[in-house]
């Protein structure tokens, strides 16, 4: 990585990326195919968002958009904020993170521990809303001296990070055999960057996004325009939008599936019950999509289906894992939602 001041970042930055992919036997047996999981919680900040955070910071420093000791500013559901904070602090900068009030307490605690200055905002509805994380972050950065808004929703380095690192890693780790890529869509950076890279290697690969019911990107993908009436919906932390981010590139994406919040919660418990791994909320949404749409997805036994797990359940104990797992919940996984 071409970053200045090499001695300062030695312990965190080389550890970003190169996360494992593991075959999940219990899911592979159920869906009669090969289900692989990319476990992004092995990144130092315990999420995939360390990757765009590093690229955005590196780019700003290289283009001299910020001077040493300045403040990196981000609007985040928590994970990008943590990546930005961790890397900024390691390189001698400060971090100011605007999170929405729906952000889990565990993520806020993590941000505090990492040394971020935090502002809690009403929503993350985009720059048109004065109370949103994005608007407030942008306004703060404009007024503050020596501050840079990394702006994951519009920064081209977000897609580039996944195009340059996550995509090639997946291609190599699956020995060029991946047939399906499934991931949650928030800013769109992951699916756009990984999707673009994988489609360049293999045109017939399936690139499928997952978002909460009521989010608008499924409609946007099908019609290339936002729906006329945008209704409030139940977001799942990290995914779901009521505006089209600049880092969402529809080009490589074949389809976006929608799932409910409750089935996603049940999927998280079900996965935990079967694997002893507590996955994150958006990872659980990807699992819920398998249940709801496996009749449409129609996998073949030789397929290599990769599920992208951006973060870990330790960020969502209060939201997902506070109740003991019971059979009723597990069996309810198939209920539509």
| Residues binding ligand PMP (CB under 6 A) | 47, 49, 77, 79, 184-190, 237-239, 280, 282, 310-311
- The residue among 144 and 254 lying less far from ligand PMP, judged by its C-beta, is 254
Contacts of 92 (CB under 8 A, 6+ apart): 5, 8, 68, 69
CA distance linking residue 169 with residue 180, whole number of Å: 15
Q: How far is the CB of 9 from ligand PMP (least distance, A)?
A: 22
Cα atoms found within 13 Å of the Cα of residue 333, Cβ hemisphere only: 22
Q: How far is the CB of 188 from ligand PMP (least distance, A)?
A: 5
Q: How far is the CB of 104 from ligand PMP (least distance, A)?
A: 10
- The residue among 9 and 41 lying less far from ligand PMP, judged by its C-beta, is 41
Q: How far is the CB of 246 from ligand PMP (least distance, A)?
A: 12
Cα atoms found within 13 Å of the Cα of residue 243, Cβ hemisphere only: 14
What's the 3-state SS for 104-164? Answer: CHHHHHHHHHHCCEEEEECECCCCCCCCEHHHHHHHHHHHCCCEEECCCCCCHHHHHHHHH
- The residue among 229 and 251 lying less far from ligand PMP, judged by its C-beta, is 251
The residue of the chain with the least Cβ separation from ligand PMP equals: 238
Angle at 236 between CA 232 and CA 237, to 5 degrees: 115
- The residue among 88 and 256 lying less far from ligand PMP, judged by its C-beta, is 256
N- to C-terminal Cα separation, the chain:
44
Q: How far is the CB of 155 from ligand PMP (least distance, A)?
A: 11
CA distance linking residue 80 with residue 181, whole number of Å: 22
- The residue among 58 and 79 lying less far from ligand PMP, judged by its C-beta, is 79
- The residue among 239 and 268 lying less far from ligand PMP, judged by its C-beta, is 239
Judged by DSSP in three states, 68 sits in coil
Q: How far is the CB of 101 from ligand PMP (least distance, A)?
A: 16
- The residue among 58 and 76 lying less far from ligand PMP, judged by its C-beta, is 76
Q: How far is the CB of 194 from ligand PMP (least distance, A)?
A: 9
Under 8 Å between Cβ of 285 and 311: no
Could you give the C-alpha distances from 226 to 27, 215, 218, 244, 253, in angstroms and in order?
35, 10, 9, 7, 16
């Amino acid at each position: 990585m071409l970053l200045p001041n090499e001695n300062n970042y030695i312990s965190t930055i080389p550890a970003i990326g190169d996360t494992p992919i593991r075959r999940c036997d219990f899911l592979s047996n159920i869906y009669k195919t090969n289900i692989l999981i990319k476990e992004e919680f092995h990144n130092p900040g315990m999420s995939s968002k360390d990757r765009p955070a590093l690229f955005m910071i590196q780019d700003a420093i290289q283009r001299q958009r910020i001077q040493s000791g300045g403040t990196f500013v981000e609007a985040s559901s928590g994970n990008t904020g943590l990546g930005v904070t961790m890397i900024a602090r390691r390189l001698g900068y400060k971090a100011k993170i605007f999170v929405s009030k729906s952000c889990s307490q565990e993520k806020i605690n993590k941000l505090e521990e990492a040394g971020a200055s935090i502002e809690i905002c009403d929503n993350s509805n985009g720059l048109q809303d004065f109370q949103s994380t994005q608007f407030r972050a942008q306004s703060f950065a404009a007024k503050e001296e020596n501050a840079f808004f990394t702006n994951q929703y519009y920064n081209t380095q977000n897609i580039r990070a996944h195009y340059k690192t996550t995509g090639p890693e997946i291609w190599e780790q699956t020995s060029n055999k991946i047939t399906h890529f499934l991931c949650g869509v928030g800013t769109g950076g992951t699916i756009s960057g990984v999707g673009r890279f994988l489609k360049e290697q293999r045109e017939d690969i399936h690139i499928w996004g997952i978002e909460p019911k009521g989010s608008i990107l499924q409609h946007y993908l099908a019609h290339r325009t936002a729906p006329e009436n945008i209704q409030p919906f139940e977001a799942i932390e990290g995914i779901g939008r009521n505006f089209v981010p600049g880092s969402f590139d529809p080009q490589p994406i074949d389809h976006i599936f929608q799932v409910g919040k409750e089935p996603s919660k049940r999927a998280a418990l079900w996965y935990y019950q079967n694997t002893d791994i507590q996955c994150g909320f958006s990872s659980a949404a990807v699992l819920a999509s398998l249940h709801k749409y496996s009749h449409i997805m129609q996998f073949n036994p030789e397929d290599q289906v990769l599920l992208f797990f951006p973060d870990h359940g330790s960020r969502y104990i209060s939201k997902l894992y506070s109740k003991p797992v019971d059979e009723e919940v597990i069996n309810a996984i198939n209920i539509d939602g």
